[in-house]
Structure 1
Amino acid sequence: MVSVETAPVVSVDPVPLPAPGRGADLRVRVSAPVRGAELPIILFAHGFGSSGRAYGPLADHWAAAGFVVLQPTFRDSRTLGPIPDDPLLWRYRVEDMLRVLDNLEAVAAAVPGLPGRLDPERIAAAGHSFGGQTAGVLLGLRVLDPATGDGADLADERVRAGVLLATAGRGGADLNPAAAARFPWLNPDFSHLTAPVLVVAGDADSSSLTTRGPDWLTDPYHLSPGARALLTLPGAEHSLGGIPGYDAAETTDADPARVRAVQTLSTAFLRSALHPGNPEWEQARAAFADPALGRIEIK
């Protein structure tokens, strides 16, 4: 078997998807292993202001591990210009994710050798920071209107599992007033998130958005009935060691060992979640025995 580190991968960017009414086509980066069939899919949501061209350490690893990784670029990406001041940005992101799911054949057709090799029955959603909330919505998370308390159910049954990386916790009194005013969508309800999820948080990720400390980023685990595991990385800040890019300027806690932990454990979790009976997650947990690198909590 070809090792994950050396398995050849092909990436195509951009793959444009027509999006009437959106103002511009949706651009998607696609990364896939050169070989293999019945390939599971990871639909990845980037952080606020980032783009589908970021997160190479994750996308490259997952693709080499046998996943097809789809990375849309959302309207809040700085690569598209100034970020719109729009309280529905969170919803536009979800619509873009659904647009990708609705056009899997067209996406595959844009990549040489990929048509006919996808497994549409095994789809996961993953995301970092704001992207974690975006992915979470497809898994059952609901964004509550701060005025009415209502939250639409936008979960998609095609999405079977997820990985939420450095994802915001509860809103309301847990937000500082400036964050609540600027980002009204930071008001999640996790009680309907029942799909199997791995949550990853850094215990040094002190967000300016919250009145709490780094434990705020563990809410998606503690408050989601579907969350199966929490990986806490000691000393990790919001970039979790460097997942946004190989040389991303926002990485303030660069640590290749942390990135490898996220790569390895997220891969194992998704393989087992998408293929019931697959023992890789249990094996990876058993092998991950260095508390200085990370702690795994299981429900």
Structure 2
Amino acid sequence: MFRRRTALVAAALVTAGLAGCSGGAAPTVGKAPEDPPKATTAAPRVPAGHAPTTSFAVGVRELKLSRGGDRPLPVTIWYPARGAAGGTPERSAPAAAGRFPVVMFSHGLGGRPADYQLLLRRWAAAGFVVAAPTFPHTGAGGDGNPLDVLNQPADVSYALTRVLALDRKAGDPLRGHLDPERVAAAGHSAGGVTTIGLFTAGRDDRLDAGIVFAGTALGVGTAFAGAAAPQLFVHGEADEVVSYAAGKAVYDAVPWPKAMLSLPKGDHGRALLSDGTALRVVADTTVEFLRWTLYGDATAKRRLPADATRGGLATLDDHL
């Protein structure tokens, strides 16, 4: 049902083209320039280091936020927790020892953070705090207005500020466990548009890396700005909602270290929403990317191509 809703509202997004929003000139559509910029080769901005080598138990909690009276932004947070790894996430479990990078995740149209928990829990178990807002208009139960996607990069930046503030909040269970200098953004479909926007028109300079799942640059353009932030694109070549060509055009325009994981039989969301071999390839590849970009772990970068192509389910265009 979620995938069907996503397809319908994403089709509306494409049809609307996000043109004319905010009363200004029509926003730039995600199109590769005639001469795509050549990717630069650079190490992550974070210092070289080593990611955790063992898995964590996972805790989960909710943070009730609002960016103004008409923009409630409840945030679901998955985080490394004390206890034995591999079980069901425990609500409000004590955080594991250590300071962990933060990943902001944006859901697709008609979705909610819980739809992606199979993937996001794996990120948390690998040593990342994952914070996922539910957007007021494009989330499940909202009015489904696709044009509101243009407001979502600012929502994510606001939520990031509030999440990072927990590291200094007296009495908060995550106090002293968040690393504000190691932050990434990721998102699927309309959440992919949101994520691209955080590196273009709505550039958040705190972000060190991005992961775009089945995204397009409709409304947010391809004018990537600020310091180099490595990007990983994940796209199914059989995507029935956002064409593979549209995602590839944005990827081609990225001027920073980048890679694109392509799934020849992948559709718009199955590899993210359903457990199976495709999800394992996507999860392992994205974990290695985050280990490299947020922990500065060079060995993770060397492992990434093998994880991406294991089982012949995907190919990797690697310019990291």
How does the TM-score come out when normalised to structure 1?
0.76
Contact kept, 8 Å, 2:210 with 2:229, in 1: the verdict is yes
**Cα contact 1:201–1:240 (8 A) shared by 2:** no
In structure 2, C-alpha distance between the alignment counterparts of 1:102 and 1:80, rounded to whole Å: 25
| 1:268–1:155 CA distance, 2 compared to 1 (3 A) | same
Aligned: 1:103 with 2:162: yes
Q: Is the 8 A contact 1:42 1:69 kept in 2?
A: yes
Equivalenced residues, count: 251
- Structure 1: any 5+ residue segments left out of the alignment? 142-152, 170-185, 247-254
Q: Specify which of 274, 281, 285 is matched with residue 261 of structure 1.
A: 281
**Residue 292 (structure 1) shift:** 2.5
The separation in 2 between residues aligned to 1:110 and 1:18, in whole angstroms, is 21
Question: d(CA) in 2 for partners of 1:189 and 1:227?
Answer: 19
- Distance in 2 between the 1:288 and 1:105 partners? 31
- What SS is found at the alignment partner of 2:296? coil
The Cα shift of 1:281 comes to 1.9
Give 1:4-153 correspondences, 5 Å limit.
Answer: 4=55, 7-13=56-62, 15-20=63-68, 22-34=69-81, 35-84=96-145, 87=147, 89-107=148-166, 113-139=173-199, 141=200, 153=201
Distance 1:81 1:116, change over 3 A: same
- Distance in 2 (CA, whole Å) between partners of 1:24 and 1:76 is 8
Alignment of 1:94-243 (within 5 A): 94-107=153-166, 113-139=173-199, 141=200, 153-168=201-216, 186-192=218-224, 194-207=228-241, 213-226=243-256, 228-241=258-271, 243=272
Task: Kindly indicate which of the two structures has a greater share of residues assigned to helix.
Answer: 2
Which amino acid in 1 is paired with 2:253?
L
Q: Is the 8 A contact 1:51 1:77 kept in 2?
A: no
The runs of 5 or more residues in structure 2 that have no matched partner are 1-51, 82-95
**Structure of higher RCO (CA pairs closer than 8 Å, 6+ residues apart):** 2
Cα pair 1:123 1:159 within 8 Å, conserved: yes
Task: Tell me, yes or no, if the aligned pair for 1:197 and 1:228 is still in contact at 8 Å.
Answer: yes
| Cα deviations by residue, 1:43-76 (Å, 9 ceiling, x for unpaired) | 0000012123320111100000100000000022
- Which stretches of structure 1, 4 residues or longer, exceed 6 Å deviation after superposition? none
Task: Name 1:298's counterpart in structure 2.
Answer: 318
CA contact (8 A) 2:209 2:229 kept: yes
Preserved contact between residue 108 and residue 139 of structure 2 (Cα < 8 Å): no
The residue type equivalent to 1:25 in the other structure is P
Identity %: 29
The 1:266/1:19 distance shift into structure 2, 3 A limit, reads same
Q: 2: distance between equivalents of 1:124 and 1:286?
A: 23
Quote the RMSD (CA, aligned, Å). Answer: 2.5
CA distance in 1, matches of 2:249, 2:104: 22
Q: Do the aligned partners of residues 111 and 11 (structure 1) sit closer, same or farther apart at CA in structure 2, a change above 3 Å counting?
A: farther
Specify whether residues 83 and 107 from structure 1 end up closer, same or farther in structure 2 by C-alpha distance, changes over 3 A only.
farther
Secondary structure at the counterpart of residue 234 of structure 2: strand
